[in-house]
Amino acid sequence: MYAIPLGDDGAELRPLEPWHAEEFLAHLDRGREFINQFVPFGSTAKDVDGAREVLQRYADRRAADTGSLHGLWLEGRLVGGVLLLNFDAANGSCEAGCWLEPDATGRGLVTRAMRVLVDWAIEGRGIHRVEWVAAAGNEPSLNVARRLGMSRDGVRRDAHLHHGVRHDLEVWSVLAPEWRAARARGAHNDH
């Protein structure tokens, strides 16, 4: 198992696997209302079996090379995560996403973790386009896209029905040459 340090604050990026089901459920229970403001991530995980099913779904995606799930631990406690989905190495594209419980916000954890994941996707797997999709009102998520140096491609109007309300979805992306150029300039800002 890997644990990638994300700075000197005790933050780590680690794989999030089915055997983490109890810890994952406790984390979701702490942040469920906050997390579900814009995304239904983990909404089916209301007990340990449901949590294990969510984690197994992503383990299966990792095995099929179509996605992956990574946890964010802060001082030994699971506080959120980052993921790749719609991962298509042959086409050179994927989508990235995140979630975080409220007590862990404002520290740059997601941005730091996404830098590791995007760098791996581009440099390790040859991905050309990394996409970020977020509800138009989800400013923290949109700010991550900005800090990652992504460009706003456009808006998919009323594309996401969540809690009975239709939300516009903003689509952002970064291309491999842009990512490399920003990294070479040292243009990364994590907060």
Q: pLDDT by residue (tens digit) across 68-79?
A: 999 999 999 999
Q: pTM value? A: 0.90
Q: How many beta carbons lie within 10 A of that of residue 173, not counting itself?
A: 19
pLDDT tens readout for residues 123-171: 999 999 999 999 888 899 999 999 999 999 999 898 777 778 888 889 9
Contact (CB, 8 A) for 168 and 156: yes
Contact (CB, 8 A) for 16 and 145: no
Contact (CB, 8 A) for 17 and 61: no
Domain boundaries, given as residue ranges, for the chain: 4-185
pLDDT tens readout for residues 82-105: 999 999 999 999 999 999 998 888
CATH architecture of 4-185: 3-Layer(aba) Sandwich (3.40)
